[in-house]
Amino acid sequence: MRKSALALGVLLTLSAAAPLAADGAADGAKSKPKAQLALFQQGSIFHSGLRNTHTIALTFDDGPNARTGEVLDALKEMNVKATFFIVGNQARRHPDVLARITREGHLLANHSATHAKLNSRFDEDPERLLDQVRGVHEQIAPLMARGDKFYFRAPYGTWRNAHADILNADPELRHYVGPIYWDVGGAISMSGDGYVMAAADWQCWRRGWEARTCAKGYSREIRRKDGGVVLMHSIHLRSAGLVRQVVPALIEEGYRFVRLDQMPEYRQYETPERGMADAGKAPQHLAALRPEDIK
Ligand SMILES: [Zn+2]
């Protein structure tokens, strides 16, 4: 009895993940020798291709938490889709918000299990690095829509060459594109005569700025670059206010809003589309499951 229940649990887990878990071997068997696998890159992906295109990819890091729902409310009212870089231990505390993000058409992405600074300690202990990425993958993948792609952003932007080799050796995690950097939202910058020329939300809140003030920095940097990947966070009291201050004017100005999987620049890192016929080949992914994950 127990054994069959266990087996069923495995099957359910696999079928939930199957549409997402592309398998390089299966593609290879179909004579696609030049198949470009999505792989973790040795350095951060700085070039988004969105500057000077009047196109914006809003990205919200570090959630979900109790404030993230307000950000989702604002995006819904404006009919804007974004990408949310999820931290695993936050998702565990707010599973309802996690589910809502994807249900409302936003893209879930991976921002590590504990928001650890991925420094050299993680090269010395590869299992710890794998756990940081795999943990979140197993939380978000079953919730994502068929065809959604996987993206990773490193906490604090900290990354090392050696991380790529470790993660790309994993048959599931090698389907990630990352680490994804940003064009807008990295730091506060002021002009000589006191104008906020650029802003980073966590720095704004630390300085006690209102959303309105912080928004000036974001809006000016976006207009100056005429688009880009925008770094924000969805976890602060003023996060939703910032969105409401920044986005409507840009919509008026004809800016287009995209998720990361709608950006041509990142296609070069992606796995080729997998045929529908492969979607049912769930048992191939058994190897990717650790015994402790089989419930
Ligand atoms: Zn972060």
DSSP assignments along 151-201, one per residue: EB--GGG---HHHHHHHHTSTTGGGEEEEE--SB-S--EE-TTS-EEE--H
H helix intervals, the chain: 2-17, 24-29, 68-78, 88-93, 95-103, 121-124, 126-140, 161-168, 201-206, 211-225, 239-252
Q: How far is the CA of 228 from the centre of ligand 1 (A)?
A: 18
Distances (CA, A) of 238 to 64, 105, 106, 183, 205: 15, 23, 20, 21, 8
Q: How would residue 38 be classed by pLDDT, with cut points 50, 70 and 90?
A: low
Domain containing residue 18? 1-35+273-295
Q: Are 110 and 192 in a shared domain?
A: yes
Q: Are 266 and 245 in a shared domain?
A: yes
Look up the pTM and report it. Answer: 0.80
Token pair of 269 as six digits:
């890192």
Q: Among residues of the chain, what percentage have pLDDT more than 90? A: 68
pLDDT digits 0-9 by tens, 223-241: 999 999 999 999 999 999 9
Q: Are 127 and 238 in a shared domain?
A: yes
Q: Are 251 and 139 in a shared domain?
A: yes
The helix/strand/coil state of 231 is strand
Q: How far is the CA of 265 from the centre of ligand 1 (A)?
A: 23
Q: Are 120 and 207 in a shared domain?
A: yes
φ, ψ of residue 21 in degrees (nearest 5): -90, 75
Q: How would residue 36 be classed by pLDDT, with cut points 50, 70 and 90?
A: very low
Q: Are 80 and 210 in a shared domain?
A: yes
Q: Are 92 and 130 in a shared domain?
A: yes
Q: How far is the CA of 186 from the centre of ligand 1 (A)?
A: 12
Q: How far is the CA of 233 from the centre of ligand 1 (A)?
A: 8
Q: How far is the CA of 193 from the centre of ligand 1 (A)?
A: 31
Q: How far is the CA of 159 from the centre of ligand 1 (A)?
A: 13
Distance CA 68, CA 258 (A): 19
Q: How far is the CA of 289 from the centre of ligand 1 (A)?
A: 27
Distances (CA, A) of 281 to 15, 33, 150, 274, 289: 9, 21, 19, 12, 15
Q: Are 80 and 106 in a shared domain?
A: yes
Q: How far is the CA of 59 from the centre of ligand 1 (A)?
A: 11
Q: Are 47 and 168 in a shared domain?
A: yes
Q: How far is the CA of 260 from the centre of ligand 1 (A)?
A: 17
pLDDT digits 0-9 by tens, 261-287: 998 888 877 754 444 334 333 333 333
